[in-house]
Amino acid sequence: NKPMSPEQFELLWADFREHAKSRELFVQDLFAGADPAHRLKARIFVEYAWHALFIRHLLRRPEAAELVGFKPEFTVVNLPSFKADPHRHGVRSQTVIACNFAKRLVLIGGTSYAGETKKSVFTFLNYVMPERGVMPMHCSANVGRDGDAAVFFGLSGTGKTTLSADPKRILLGDDEHGWGDTGIHN
């Protein structure tokens, strides 16, 4: 992680917008979080259709009525074909993931890894959820018949998904969760 000045971010954002003018973008209006009491409205702009499909399956799709007047609480713009200029933008390489929490905006460029969009959504949730009384967690979780939740923490590849996939319990999810006053949600 490297800090970026507001001026550098504004320049990067202007260059992103200029670059996007020559591209076809796919836009998804989605909810980040399964619990309606805690979910956030997200607008995701992506350059690749498969990135749109990827994030559409990871986040929650609003009902048609919920899309009327949809106003995002944060936005992610993912342009793999955009290459940052380290000197011009004050970054370390042509690949950039820049988060501006004040603007509620994440810019992703120079990488085709679709997971950066998901990780950016979770980063934003990590920032705002504690103020809302929700602890964000990178974990897998399931729930038993009596409502007893089990949460599995660990580094990638340590068995969280395997442990949470119990045929006698309902899987909540295997990657990211929030724990608030209404329980644990994906």
pLDDT one digit per residue (tens) for the chain, 186 residues: 889 999 999 999 999 999 999 999 999 999 999 899 999 999 999 999 999 999 999 999 999 999 999 999 999 999 999 999 999 999 999 999 999 999 999 999 999 999 999 999 999 999 999 999 999 999 999 999 999 999 999 888 899 989 999 999 999 998 899 999 888 998
Alpha helices (runs of H) in 73-114, residue ranges in sequence order: 86-89
Using alpha carbons, list the distances in angstroms from residue 166 to 26, 110, 138, 151, 160: 36, 39, 19, 12, 11
Q: Which residues contact 101 (CB under 8 A, 6 or more apart)?
A: 124, 127
| Plot region of 95 (φ>0 → left; ψ -120 to 50 → alpha; else → beta) | beta
Q: In angstroms, how far apart are the furthest CA atoms of the chain?
A: 57
